[in-house]
Amino acid sequence: MNIRKTLLLLAMLATLPAARAEFPDRPITLIIPFSAGGPTDVVGRVAAAKAGEILGQQIVVENRTGASGTIGMTATARAKPDGYTIGLATVSTHGTAPHLFPKLPYDPIKDFTPVSNLVTSPNILSVHPSYPARTLAEFVEYVRARPGVEGYANAGAGGVNDLGMTWFLQITGAKMNSIAYRGSAPALTDAVGGIVPVIFDNFPSSQSYVKSGHLRALAITGTQRNPQLPDVPTFAEQGYTNYDVTAWYGVVAPAGLPADIRDKLADAFARAVRDPATAAKLADTGAFPLGNTPAEFGEQIQTEKDRWGEVIAKAGIKLQ
Ligand code: GLU
């Protein structure tokens, strides 16, 4: 080969994209948009430990809290779409908040690549053991008689817990004050401490306090009772048949994530939540392991966003 030909060959090689190392070749960061010890955090850590094992790389959890999870989701949307930064989206960040935050820095559909929805869970209304109301009916009567006096703790303004309670109060005609925190964990601290003796929360974070008697549960959402707290009746059983609020936690990546990386992540997370030991850990919290495909999760996000848009518009719900 003469010198010209060699140079030409080298020039051609230089224009070829560098071969991509097999994904993942370094640790992955999973952004959890709520505080440590809350349901998003617990689900994220349990699933990430197993998914990391399957992928052969550690998945490092990073809690980026505030504004009902939208701060952590903004960081996820703005990250490089290379699979090394992913986030755990929830019904709050992708279903409710988009309709309530006028300046939300992301579009829940366009700015993300859905990967896999890990679990769904009911919500639960509980009170401090010293609270006068012992049943849901007594609770409604009690707060109705004190419009704007009683408060309820929740995981973030405009999130599913704030909104779920707001919707319930609208149905009952009662008025309470929303006391919002940076996630379920700090909201629970104040509920268990009796500082804000009412809490509407995702089931996984509240259930252990109900089991230990630190909180008294009045009702859970959903069509059936939860095996973790079989004595707690549903809202539907107590007459609120058109009222339902489900929480979910799913892995998303920034928009533009290459399909092969997306599928690898989705497969690892889906296998993780179906792994018997991991599924048992999740079920112990009262959550229902799912692990669906990117396409299924994408459809679900769209449906949830639309559904909450309708609920919010119909009920005329606004942030307090
Ligand atoms: N309520 C939040 C949600 O489901 C999660 C709260 C938390 O993880 O602390 O969107």
DSSP 220-242: E-SSS--TTSTTSPBTGGGT-TT
Ligand 1 centroid to Cα of residue 68, in Å, is: 8
Alpha helices in 123-174 (DSSP H): 136-144, 160-172
Q: What is the pLDDT of residue 320?
A: 64
> Hey, what are 243's tokens?
């009222």
> From the CA of 150, how far away is ligand 1's center (Å)?
22
**pLDDT value of residue 316:** 85
Tokens 């986030």 belong to which residue? 87
Domain ranges (residues) in the chain: 28-121+246-315, 122-238
Q: For residues 63 and 88, what is the distance between their CA atoms, to the nearest angstrom?
A: 10
CATH classification number, 122-238, choose in 3.40.190.10, 3.40.50.300, 3.30.930.10, 3.40.50.80:
3.40.190.10
* Residue minimizing CA distance to atom 10 of ligand 1: 92
How far apart CA 299 and CA 307 sit, in angstroms, is 12
C-alpha 309/C-alpha 316 separation (Å) is 10
**Cβ pair 127, 302 in contact under 8 A:** no
Q: Which residue's CA is minimally distant from atom 1 of ligand 1?
A: 155
Q: Is the CB of 59 under 6 A from ligand 1?
A: no
pLDDT value, residue 126: 98
Axis crossing angle, helix 39-55 with helix 203-211, rounded to the nearest 10: 110
Superfamily per CATH, domain 28-121+246-315? Bordetella uptake gene, domain 1 (3.40.190.150)
So what's the pLDDT on residue 21? 79
Positive or negative torsion for Cα 127, 133, 135, 140: negative
Q: Provide the whole-model pTM.
A: 0.91
Q: What value, to the nearest 5°, has the Cα angle with vertex 62 and ends 309 and 40?
A: 45
Q: Is the CB of 34 under 6 A from ligand 1?
A: yes
Atom of ligand 1 nearest to the CA of 182: 9
Spell out the per-residue pLDDT of the chain, length 320, in tens.
566 665 555 555 555 555 567 999 999 999 999 999 999 999 999 999 999 999 999 999 999 999 999 999 999 999 999 999 999 999 999 999 999 998 999 999 999 999 999 999 999 999 999 999 999 999 999 999 999 999 999 999 999 999 999 999 999 999 999 999 999 999 999 999 999 999 999 999 999 999 999 999 999 999 999 999 999 999 999 999 999 999 999 999 999 999 999 999 999 999 999 999 999 999 999 999 999 999 999 999 999 999 999 989 988 887 76
Please work out whether the CB of residue 159 comes within 6 Å of at least one atom of ligand 1. yes
Helix and strand totals (H; E) in the chain: 12, 11
Q: What are phi and psi of 84, to 5 degrees?
A: -90, -10
Nearest partner of 309 among 200, 163, 180, judged by Cα: 163
> What gap in Å lies between CA 22 and CA 257, rounded to an integer?
15
Q: Alpha carbon of 269 to those of 69, 241, 248, 265, 290: distances in Å?
A: 21, 34, 15, 6, 10
Check: CB of residue 210 under 8 Å from CB of residue 229: yes
Q: How far is the CA of 32 from the centre of ligand 1 (A)?
A: 10
pLDDT of 237: 97
Quick check: do 28-121+246-315 and 122-238 share a fold?
yes
The residues, ordered by sequence, that sit 6+ positions from 149 with a Cβ below 8 Å of its Cβ are: 176, 177
CB 120 within 8 Å of CB 127? no
Count, residues in the chain: 320
Backbone region of residue 156 per phi and psi (left: phi > 0; alpha: psi in -120 to 50; beta: other values): left
List phi, psi (to 5°) of 106.
Answer: -135, 160
Which atom number of ligand 1 is nearest to the Cα of residue 92? 10
